[in-house]
């Protein structure tokens, strides 16, 4: 089965959720549940997503709503091939959701379980490759800056095997920035129950001591994941949460080669440096860690096909893609969604000027996607349109409104329709040879009264909208702030 985030899968009755159809539930956590979903479109278009929506009981809590909106805010900033992309964030009937890319593969936690069941160790080169790809993603996230160049200091704070996906095509992706923190975000390190957010056996020692946290805390967590990939067992997990925290803070950490002789000394050194309890002794950045791991991969002669080959050997036919349930209800829901979204662009629903949706309880925006906005005509456009229209009117009067005609006798001139607007810089028409003018009587032509000057048409002004419901129209400058304010109402 294809999984994202958690390992349990539950069959559910297909459900229409906004412009998505939820097919089956992939898993659930303390804050949200995750579904495999399809967004249908016109002409049979369909795309599969993973929809993560906040749990019903959590949707009433401002604390959890703020966490969910914070996740959307941070994911909107992240665009990297090793990070699961979030495409959509919105609210359907009071329930906030995220729509993410659907990746096919297995998380590292499940892969380790399957390997243990097969009594098979994870190849050293593959373990190194997985850590290398996550280190590259962390290096990108940690170094990300805002539009003005100010560092954002994003920290994931939940690096663990279940949040690392190994793709069946060979890639590795990091997911779930649900408890990540960026500069300017409120620090909420503990839950209402007094427990640390994140998984205890992977948190850095400085978090236990309530010391400042930066990207090096994520590198410690990645060091734990790499150690467990190599050793095939847990590093810090104890019989109780208190014992686990004590192990994180004090336990002597053996080198991976002590449990597995085929681990090269260079890799031992890298793992132990990442696991240094003093942040100053760890790698300064994810990219620095990735550079050292890259040299080990060269030493081990790692092949790009090694990871997908391992997944196919361990899972076999289970890796085949899942199909959309072919049920009457699913087909009916997909058809209904396709009909409703026939006018929805990739940037979210759009509405004609002056018209608003009847209900603002349901809205959705696409993250990182520019919403097309019709540009207002400039002065030059209207000047060109006015001049072009006047010229066509004079031409009509000169040729067919009482002036000398060049048409053959008895012929009826076709009606001339003036275009609504002329292009700003249209190229001059190619010169054409005029037909010879037939001789006519010397009677002077009747005087043609000058047409009254028509005032230039004024550009239609867009209706002024209040800020309420701007997310539904793709007009909000900061949709996440507005979404948070809606959640608090």
- What the block records as the tokens of 378 is 């400039």
Window from 26-35, 242-251, 273-282, 413-422 with minimum mean pLDDT: 413-422
Q: Could you say which of 1.10.510.10, 3.40.50.720, 2.60.40.1730, 3.30.70.330 is the CATH number of the domain covering 106-320?
A: 1.10.510.10
Total Cβ atoms within 10 A of residue 360: 14
For residue 134, give both structure tokens: 């996550």
| Angle (nearest 5°) at CA 361 between 352 and 35 | 105
pTM passes above 0.85? no
Rounded Cα distance, 257 and 104, in Å? 32
Residue for token digits 């004590």?
Answer: 246
Q: What is the DSSP string of 414-450?
A: PPP---S---TTPPPPPP-PPPPPPP--SPPPPP-PP
Give the C-alpha separation, 177 to 62, whole Å. 19
Domain range list for the chain = 1-104+321-369+469-489, 106-320
User: How would residue 335 be classed by pLDDT, with cut points 50, 70 and 90?
Assistant: low
Is residue 445's pLDDT more than 90? no
- Write down the mean pLDDT value for the chain: 73
Confirm if 18 and 37 have CB atoms less than 8 A apart: no
Structure tokens given for 158: 């939940």
Domains 1-104+321-369+469-489 and 106-320 share a fold: no
Is residue 484's pLDDT more than 80?
A: no
pLDDT tens for 342-387 read: 544 333 333 333 333 333 333 343 443 333 333 444 545 455 555 6
3-state secondary structure of 36: strand
| DSSP designation for 259 | T
Answer with the residue of higher pLDDT: 135 or 444.
Answer: 135
Task: Report the C-alpha gap between 339 and 41 in whole angstroms.
Answer: 8
Quote the pLDDT of residue 361. 36
Q: What is the pLDDT of residue 385?
A: 52
Measured at the CA of 457, the angle between CA 423 and CA 395, to 5 degrees, comes to 60
> What proportion of the chain, given as a percentage, has pLDDT over 70?
58
Q: Is 158 a catalytic residue?
A: yes
Stated as kind and residue range, the H or E segment containing 366 is strand 362-366
Q: Judge whether residue 420 has pLDDT over 60.
A: no
For residue range 173-188, list pLDDT tens digits in order: 998 886 666 555 444 4
Residue 216 has pLDDT above 90, yes or no: yes
C-alpha 123/C-alpha 29 separation (Å) is 31
Architecture of domain 1-104+321-369+469-489: 2-Layer Sandwich (3.30)
Specify the pLDDT at position 146.
87
| Residue from 158, 268, 294, 478 carrying the catalytic annotation | 158
Residue 40: pLDDT band (50, 70, 90) is confident
| pLDDT at res. 246 | 95
Confidence label for 9 from pLDDT (cuts 50, 70 and 90): very low
Q: How far apart are CA 107 and CA 26, in angstroms?
A: 13
Nearest to 250 by CA among 259, 242, 240, 258: 242
* CA–CA gap between residue 190 and residue 455 (Å, rounded): 67
């Amino acid at each position: 089965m294809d999984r994202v985030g958690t390992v349990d899968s539950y069959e559910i009755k297909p459900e229409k959720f906004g412009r998505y159809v939820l097919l089956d539930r992939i898993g659930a956590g303390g804050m949200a549940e995750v579904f495999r979903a399809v967004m249908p479109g016109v002409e049979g278009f369909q795309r599969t997503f993973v929809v993560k929506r906040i749990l019903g009981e959590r949707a009433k809590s401002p604390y959890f709503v703020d966490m969910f909106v914070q996740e959307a805010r941070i994911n909107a900033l992240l665009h990297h091939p090793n990070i699961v992309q979030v495409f959509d964030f919105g609210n359907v009937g009071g329930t906030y959701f995220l729509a993410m890319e659907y990746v096919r593969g297995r998380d590292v936690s499940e892969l380790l379980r399957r390997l243990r069941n097969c009594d098979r160790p994870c190849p050293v080169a593959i373990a190194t490759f997985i850590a290398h790809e996550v280190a590259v993603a962390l290096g990108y996230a940690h170094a990300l800056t805002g539009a003005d160049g100010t560092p954002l200091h994003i920290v994931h704070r939940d690096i663990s095997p279940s949040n690392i996906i190994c793709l069946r095509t060979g890639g590795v992706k990091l997911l779930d920035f649900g408890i990540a923190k960026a500069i300017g975000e409120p620090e909420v390190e503990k839950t209402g129950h007094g427990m640390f957010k994140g998984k205890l056996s992977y948190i850095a020692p400085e978090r236990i001591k309530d010391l400042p946290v930066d990207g090096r805390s994520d590198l410690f967590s990645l060091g734990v994941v790499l150690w467990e990939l190599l050793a095939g067992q847990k590093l810090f997990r104890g019989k109780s949460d208190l014992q686990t925290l004590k192990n994180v803070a004090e336990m002597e950490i053996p080198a991976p080669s002590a449990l597995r002789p085929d681990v090269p000394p260079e890799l031992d050194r890298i793992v132990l440096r990442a696991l240094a309890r003093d942040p100053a002794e760890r790698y300064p950045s994810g990219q620095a860690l990735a550079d050292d791991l890259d040299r080990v991969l060269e030493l081990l002669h790692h092949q790009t096909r090694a990871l997908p080959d391992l997944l196919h050997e361990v899972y076999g036919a289970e890796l085949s893609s899942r199909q959309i349930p072919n049920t009457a209800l699913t087909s009916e829901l997909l058809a209904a969604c396709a009909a409703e979204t026939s006018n929805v662009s990739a940037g979210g629903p759009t509405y004609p000027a002056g018209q608003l949706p009847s209900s603002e309880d349901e809205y959705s925006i696409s993250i990182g996607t520019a919403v097309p906005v019709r540009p207002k005509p400039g002065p030059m456009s209207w000047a060109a349109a006015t001049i072009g229209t006047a010229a066509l009117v004079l031409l009509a009067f000169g040729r067919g409104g009482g002036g000398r005609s060049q048409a053959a006798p008895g012929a009826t001139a076709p009606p001339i329709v003036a275009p609504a607007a002329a292009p700003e810089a249209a190229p001059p028409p190619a010169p054409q040879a005029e037909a010879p003018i037939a001789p006519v009587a010397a009677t002077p032509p009747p005087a043609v009264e000058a047409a009254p000057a028509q005032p230039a048409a004024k550009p239609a002004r867009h209706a002024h909208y209040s800020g309420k419901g701007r997310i539904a129209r793709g007009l909000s400058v900061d949709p996440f702030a507005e979404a948070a304010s809606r959640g608090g109402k």
